[in-house]
A = this chain, B = another copy of it.
């Protein structure tokens, strides 16, 4: 998009994120990432002395940052913000992504978790951090719109859980309608935080 393209290191992190969330961690080779990023091969071991684990970890951090920004963007463009509105905002972005890219890419956190969360990989901590960052962004956005703090945590967990599951079902069934279903079904609970 922009005239000058980003430096190789950044391109590799971004590329790793995209490849991981579309085929998973194990199926994403470092050579693939380098080629996808149009980066010099020798640069990989220079910028990522920690190897593949470091690359995946940074890809997760990048993704979490991206997700957090998306969440925070809701407050600035919503007239009358509400929990269900925020949830619909998040789901809509995924709906567009899935249809535009034909269900090619899913959530990098889910992909990494499925493969690594069960063991004791070094990527485990970046993974937990990424999930926490995303969750915290949702909580902060909820609190900002008036949801009591002790209620926001639970709502955020439900929103992220349902969204992740719906993304998965949408990809498996090749049907973005799952996202709409979850949004409309969940709207009542999300907005009844007063009761």
- A190 CB to nearest chain B CB (Å): 9
Query: Which label, helix, strand, loop or mixed, suits the secondary structure of the A interface?
Result: helix
- Identify which of A135, A164, A184 gathers the most chain B CB atoms within 10 Å of its CB: A164
Report A146-195 residues with CB < 8 Å from chain B CB: 153-155, 157-158, 160-166, 168-169, 171-174, 178, 181-182, 184-186, 188-189, 192
A101 to chain B, nearest CB (A): 8
Known: A162-B161, A165-B160, A165-B162. A171 touches B118 (CB 8 A): yes
Task: List 9 A-B pairs, Cβ < 8 Å.
Answer: A23-B118, A26-B26, A154-B181, A154-B185, A158-B162, A160-B165, A164-B164, A165-B165, A188-B192
Enumerate chain A interface residues (CB-CB to B < 8 A): 22-27, 103-106, 109-111, 113-119, 127-128, 131-132, 135, 153-155, 157-158, 160-166, 168-169, 171-174, 178, 181-182, 184-186, 188-189, 192
